Amino acid sequence: MNTVATDMQSAAAITPVVDVIIPVYRGLAETRCCLESVLAFPQHTACEIVVVDDCSPELDLSAWLRDLAGSGAITLLENPANTGFVNAVNRGMILHPDRDVVLLNSDTEVHGDWLDRLCHCASSDPMTGTVTPFSNNATICSYPRFNQSNPLPKGWPLARLDRAFAEVNAGLAIEMPTAVGFCMYIRRNCLKEVGYFDALIFKRGYGEENEFCLRATEAGFKHLLCADVFVYHQGGVSFGSETAALCTEAEQRILERYPNYLGIIGEYCTRDPARVLRRRVDGFRLVHSPRPRILFITHTWGGGTEKHIQDLAGILEPDFEMMILRPAGPDGVSIEWARSGEEFITYFALPYAYPKLLGFIKSLGIVRLHIHHVIGMNRQILQLPRDLNVPYDFTLHDYYPICPQYTLTLQDGRYCGEPNVDGCNACLAERPALWGLDIVTWRASLGGLLTGADRVIVASQDMETRMRRYVPGARYVRLSHPEPALAVPVPHAPPCSELKILVLGRLTPIKGLHRLEACAADAQARGLPLFFRVIGHADRDVRQEPEIPLSFSGPYNDAELPLLIGRERPDVIFFPAQCPETYSYTLSYALVTGLPIVAPRLGAFSERLADYPYAWLLNWDTPIAECNDLFVNLLQRERSYTLVELAHDA
Q: Are residues 236 and 310 in the same domain?
A: no
Give, as one character, the DSSP assignment of residue 489. Answer: -
Q: Name 450's Cβ contacts closer than 8 Å, sequence gap at least 6.
A: 394, 401, 456, 467, 471, 474
Whether residue 149 is contained in a domain is answered as yes
For 354-393, what is each residue's pLDDT tens digit? 999 999 999 999 999 999 999 999 999 999 999 999 999 9
Confidence at residue 1, expressed as pLDDT on a 0 to 100 scale: 32
Binning the chain into helix, strand and coil, the percentages to the nearest 5 are 40, 20, 40
CA angle 510, 511, 513 (to 5 degrees): 90
| CA distances (Å), origin 451, targets 134, 186, 332, 443, 462 | 48, 63, 26, 11, 19
Half-sphere exposure of 199 (CA within 13 A, CB side): 11
Is the same domain home to 394 and 431?
yes
Residue 7 domain-assigned (yes or no):
no
The rounded radius of gyration (Å) of the Cα atoms in the chain is 33
Cα distances (Å, whole numbers) of residue 224 to 172, 228, 273: 10, 12, 12
Identity (one letter) of the amino acid at 318? P
Domain count, the chain: 3
pLDDT at 640: 42
Residue 538, φ and ψ in degrees, nearest 5:
-100, 150
Query: Could you give the angle at which helices 243-257 and 261-271 cross, rounded to 10 degrees?
Result: 110
Phi-psi region of 513 (alpha: psi -120 to 50; beta: other; left: phi over 0): alpha
Residues 505 and 383 in one domain: no
Do 409 and 511 belong together in one domain? no
Determine, yes or no, domain membership for 6. Answer: no
User: Do residues 365 and 458 share a domain?
Assistant: yes
Which range marks the domain in which residue 151 is found? Answer: 14-274
Domain-ending residue, one of 221, 253, 274: 274
The whole-model pTM stands at 0.87
The string of pLDDT tens digits covering residues 573-619 is: 999 999 999 999 999 999 999 999 999 999 999 999 999 999 999 99
Alpha-carbon distance of 45 to 190, in angstroms, equals 20
Give dist(CA 459, CA 272) in Å, integer. 42
Cα 246 from Cα 621, distance rounded (Å) = 63
Residue 181 and residue 51 share a domain: yes
At residue 229, the pLDDT reads 98
d(CA 576, CA 172): 59
For strand 550-552 and strand 455-458, is the pairing parallel, antiparallel, or unpaired?
unpaired
How far apart, in whole angstroms, are the C-alpha atoms of residue 397 and residue 584?
10
Does residue 335 sit within a domain? yes
Cβ pair 544, 551 in contact under 8 A:
yes
Whether omega before 273 lies within 30 degrees of 0, making that bond cis, reads no
Q: Is residue 194 part of a domain?
A: yes
Give the residue from 274, 292, 327 where a domain finishes.
Answer: 274
Please tell me the distance from the alpha carbon of residue 68 to that of residue 548, in angstroms, as a whole number: 79
Q: For residue 157, give the CATH number of its domain.
A: 3.90.550.10
Alpha-carbon distances of 329 from 12, 274, 378, rounded to whole Å: 58, 23, 10
With beta carbons less than 8 A apart as the criterion, state whether 385 and 369 touch: yes
Judgement on whether residues 24 and 148 belong to the same structural domain of the protein: yes
| Residue 243 and residue 289 in one domain | no
Phi, psi for 627 (deg, rounded to 5): -60, -45
Residue 453's CATH number: 3.40.50.2000
Q: What is the pLDDT of residue 466?
A: 96
Reported as type and span, the H/E element at residue 325 is: strand 321-328
Does a structural domain hold residue 9? no
Give the per-residue pLDDT at 7. Answer: 34
Strands 530-535 and 499-504: parallel
- Structural domain contains residue 629: yes
Claim to verify: residue 511 and residue 460 sit in the same structural domain? no
Phi, psi torsion values for 276, nearest 5 degrees = -65, -30
- Which residue, among 133, 119, 131, has the nearest Cα to 47 in the 3D structure? 119
To the nearest whole number, what is the mean pLDDT of the chain?
A: 91
Q: What confidence tens digit (pLDDT) does each residue in 178-206 have?
A: 999 999 999 999 999 999 998 877 665 56
Q: Is 109 exposed, middle or buried (0-12, 13-18, 19+ CB in 10 A)?
A: buried
Q: How far apart, in whole angstroms, are the C-alpha atoms of residue 188 and residue 128? A: 10
**Per-residue pLDDT at 489:** 79
Domain boundary among 249, 274, 299: 274
Residue 239 pLDDT: 52
Preceding peptide of 144 cis, ω within 30°: yes
- Scored b (16 or more CB within 10 A) or e, 615-639 reads bbbbebeeebeebbeebeebbeebe
**Do 509 and 460 share a structural domain?**
no
Strand partners, 325: 297, 335
Euclidean distance between CA atoms 604 and 479, whole angstroms: 13
How open is the CA angle 67-70-71, to the nearest 5 degrees? Answer: 95
Burial class (CB in 10 A: 0-12, 13-18, 19+), 472: exposed
Sites in the chain below the pLDDT cut of 70 = 1-15, 202-206, 236-247, 495, 638-650
Task: Say if residue 128 is in the same domain as residue 146.
Answer: yes
In a domain? residue 593: yes
Looking at the fold, whether 319 and 460 belong to one and the same domain comes out as yes
Render the burial of 433-442: b for 16+ CB within 10 Å, e for the rest: beeebebeeb
Q: Residue 34 is which amino acid? A: C
φ, ψ for residue 220, nearest 5 deg: 100, 5
Reduced to 3 states, what is the DSSP secondary structure of residue 23?
strand
pLDDT at 10: 39
The single-letter DSSP state of residue 151 is P
